[in-house]
């Protein structure tokens, strides 16, 4: 009986190690990549909308830089690092807000808040 008590923790440790050593069957890398791409695209959609509103107020240099950054974010979301794509999307939305802020508010702009 004492020997069983001594070996029981070792048996549990061995069983746990065997479980950790093999890859999880529930993790499908392709499905995870597709989900991360969808999350990145979801972050990029509002940034695209903000850019569309800001581009008429942007200088030609800003317009080119923003379009390049948007292309980079699209590519990064689909074929690269989705986290980096989402980070670029957040920065694009922030910059678009600055460009729109520089243009000022019009009376009907506040209607969108209601």
Question: Is the sign of the CA dihedral 68, 74, 79, 84 positive or negative?
Answer: positive
pLDDT digits (tens, 9 = 90+) for 28-73: 888 888 888 888 888 889 888 988 889 999 999 999 998 998 888 8
19 has a pLDDT exceeding 70: no
Confidence at 24, pLDDT banded by 50, 70, 90 = low
Give the pLDDT confidence score for residue 60 in this predicted structure: 93
Each domain of the chain, given as residue ranges in start order, spans 29-103
Q: Cα–Cα distance between 37 and 43 in angstroms, integer?
A: 10
Q: What is the mean pLDDT of residues 90-113?
A: 81
Rounded Cα distance, 104 and 24, in Å? 53
What is the model's pLDDT at position 63?
92
Helix (H, G, I), strand (E, B) or coil at 1: coil
């Amino acid at each position: 009986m004492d020997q069983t008590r001594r070996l029981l923790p070792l048996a549990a440790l061995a069983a746990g190690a065997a479980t950790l050593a093999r890859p999880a069957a529930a993790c499908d890398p392709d499905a995870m990549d597709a989900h991360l791409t969808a999350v990145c695209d979801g972050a990029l959609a509002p940034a695209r909308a903000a850019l569309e509103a800001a581009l008429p107020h942007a200088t030609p240099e800003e317009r080119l830089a923003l379009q390049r950054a948007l292309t980079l974010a699209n590519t990064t979301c689909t074929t690269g690092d989705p986290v980096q794509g989402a980070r670029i999307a957040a920065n694009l939305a922030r910059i678009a807000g600055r460009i729109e802020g520089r243009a000022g508010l019009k009376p009907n702009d506040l209607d969108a808040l209601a």
